[in-house]
Amino acid sequence: MSMGVQTLAALIQIASYILLAELARRLMAGTDWRDMGAVAFWALLLFGLAGTLTSGLLLWLHAVDAGLGRDLRLLAKLSRLPLGWFTDSNATAVRQIIDEDAGRLHYRVIRRGNQTFRPFPEREPA
Rounded CA gap, 14 and 120, in Å? Answer: 17
What pLDDT is recorded for position 18?
94
Residues 6+ apart with CB under 8 A from 53: 5, 8, 9, 12
- DSSP character for 89? S
Q: One digit per residue, pLDDT tens: the chain, 126 residues? A: 777 888 888 899 899 999 999 999 999 998 888 888 899 999 999 999 999 998 898 888 888 777 776 666 566 667 777 777 767 777 777 777 766 666 776 666 666 656 555 555 555 555
Nearest CA among 35, 45, 39, 44 for reference residue 22:
39
What pLDDT is recorded for position 76?
67
